[in-house]
Chains A and B, each alone.
Chain A
Amino acid sequence: MESWEILLQQVINGLSLGAMYALLALGFTMVYGIIELINFAHFNIFMVGSFIAMWLMQLMGFTGQTHILYGLPLIGLLVLVLCMTMLGTGVLGALIERYALRALRGVSGTAPMITTIGLSYILFNVILLTTGADTKNYSNPMPNIRWEFGDAVLRLREVMLWGLSIVLMIGLHYFVRRTKMGKAMQATAQDQEAARMVGVDVDRVVIITFFIGSALAGAAGVIFGLYYNYTSFIIGYTAGLRAFTAAVLGGIGNIPGAMLGGVLIGLIESLGGQYLAVRWTDVIIFSILVLVLVFRPTGLLGRAAPTKS
């Protein structure tokens, strides 16, 4: 492979990872923007999402690499799987908010964060104990359509994953900017008390934020499975940490920032893996997290510094 082909290939890979991290980072950033909580459960809601999608596809008869459907019926079924997965993880996130976190809202200190760690651990172990520790193969229902640029390959499924991610992000942007609930969210993020005073049902805003964030994490889980062709109980930890770094890089609490940060982290992962070393990827991404916190705690697009005062 020529050097430009390698670069192009890694950019393609990076954008695919970036699409996934961006969706995952959105959940962190939305929840943090509204109630200033780092939601560690988000790590494994993502993982559960990839399992839900896998089970749904198995139910529908997609197994292994065989292609049983083509064209619109395939797209229709995939959209159905996606929607059901997002609904599933969304409901999971909403349940977590309602029954574990709501009682702790407004409690200062580490208690809410520790609760989310506990929840994350429960999800992780439930999946581990019920499905076993082995890596699960994902079916690959997409037809093998590919475009070649020299030796660099762009496959149909990558284009579809990008498309999915862009559609979801535009949808979210529209929702937050234009709908009544979206405006209520913005108001709550600015000042919870003031929002309550003008009649915003803050409890409802928070639970819907969890629902949307978790649904996006579910979509990211679907992307993970389709992109890597496997899933495992262990994927939430690394991906979650990277997505959180993406959220901080873009500016925590800032929705466009999370999208930008996600794409950048995806590119850093693929290019860093290519030109430095794959085994140091996590160290590179961790260094970015620390450097951003030291030199630009507001992130690339953030507004206010996340200091306590």
Chain B
Amino acid sequence: MRELLSVLVTLFIFPGVAFLVACALLFEWIDRRTIARLQARVGPPWFQPLADLVKLLSKESILPRQADRPICTALPVVSLAAVLTAALYIPVGGRVVYGFEGDLIVVLFLLSLPALFYFLAGWVSVGIYSIIGGSRSVLQYFSYEVPFLMALSAPAILTGSWSISDIITQQAESAWIVLAQPVGFLLAIVGLIGKLKRVPFDIPKAKSEVVGGPLTEFSGRKLALWRLVVDIQTVAGIFLLVNMFLGGGDLTLLQGSAPLGLARAVTFSIKALGMLLTLSVTSVLYARLRIDQLANLGWRILAPLGLLQLAATILMGIG
């Protein structure tokens, strides 16, 4: 009985759905506020993301006549399920929920599913802007996903383990992986920007070209869920990068100690916020790229760098 209760609390409260949604809304607010301040504006108050979510949930949902209603309703729900499940396997503040050998691969797979569903959403909702946005999102996917996967595989190869909690533990014993693989870290950040479709990689939903991209025809509850998917993906992506490169809940840069759970949580939060601020600042600095410029960037610069990083890691391991 107690176990059941504990499982339910973990799944739905902490670090489950409630915690993730709260984090997602908080991160969205910090992001929007930072961007606003950097652009000489004021920015929204703390409850704005929650207000937007509640408002969208209560609005009418209209779809074009030829759109496939059941699939359009199912897609955001399935995407949400994918990112929530992925987030469950990512340790938060040093606290591992359901870790196992190979959970890194599962997380990476689950986190790449929303891109597929995003494209399908555009395809199935039939409008011209949706279809063009959808095809762009697939092109974009290939440009950032390969470097991203390579960058996130490098720590696993370095530590010899495909379990995220193992990687964290090894970082606590030796050093943060970012010191050994700075290139990989940068690639992971760039890949994350592409995954989250933030400027300069917000090409599929470029307002001035394709209006709303694949989600043009979505409104009401469906759109609310899509926005939640993006927010939770942001949270999951940031947590993943903090765990893989910055040592998770670890305090010191080089030698690890075992601080209390609260200290770990605080450290983790500081690192996560640092990553979020990095993402916000890069959103402000650039114009949107064209899809062919992104493909150029992805295949001519990012992928070769990722290969180099992997090669260096493997050679270091052999030597």
A binds B: no
